[in-house]
Amino acid sequence: MQPQAEAFRAKLRELGEDGNVRETATSAHTAAEAAAALGVEVAAIVKSLVFTVTADGGRAEPLLVLASGPNRVDLDRVGAHLGGTVGKADAATVKSATGYSIGGVPPLGHPAPLRTLVDAALLDQELLWAAAGTATAVFPITPARLVELSGGEVLRIS
């Protein structure tokens, strides 16, 4: 297993999970690729997306949005909910905030807590699959446990 995936497995175990990380034979970089590799619906894939949110005159802070595979984040809706302007984070911000590169960002286990929003559509699934540190590593998690471990606020994001 790749070192980033192995490190994430250890974090899962620290959080009380069984550390069930699976490496796919093909890329799981996108939700569609992950769903195809796992043989599940795209809606069961958790996209860990990092944005920045800037309140009036403040500095940009990282924001993690955990979105259901087929859903797009409505930046205006999220910004209105948070009371700021939401924009996409660059690769350096993603790596700094999460410790992982784009395409392998897990929804939890980051170096420091991140403000997190969880797409309400994820709660419609029985079991979810999310990135586990690399573009080919994934792990299963229930929606309730995802909300609990991420500390996320549930919101309709699209």
pLDDT tens readout for residues 33-61: 899 999 999 999 999 999 999 987 788 99
Q: What is the SS3 assignment for 86?
A: strand
Residue 79, token pair as written in the block: 């910004």
Q: Is 10 helix (H, G, I), strand (E, B) or coil?
A: helix
pTM of structure: 0.94
* Number of domain units in the chain: 1
pLDDT for residue 96 is more than 80: yes
Q: Name the DSSP class of 93.
A: H
d(CA 64, CA 70): 17
* Pairs from 35-42 (Cβ < 8 Å, separation ≥ 24): 35/69, 37/138, 38/129, 38/138, 40/129, 41/69, 42/69, 42/70
How far is Cα 155 from Cα 137, in angstroms, rounded to an integer? Answer: 26
| Per-residue model confidence (pLDDT) at position 147 | 97
Q: Mean of the pLDDT values across residues 136-151?
A: 96
64: nearest Cα among 124, 116, 2: 116
Q: Which domain holds residue 145?
A: 3-155
Mean pLDDT score, 94-102: 95
Q: Which of 21-25, 74-78, 122-126, 137-141 has the lowest mean pLDDT?
A: 21-25
**Residue 84: pLDDT band by 50, 70, 90 thresholds?**
very high
**Residue 49, domain CATH:** 3.90.960.10
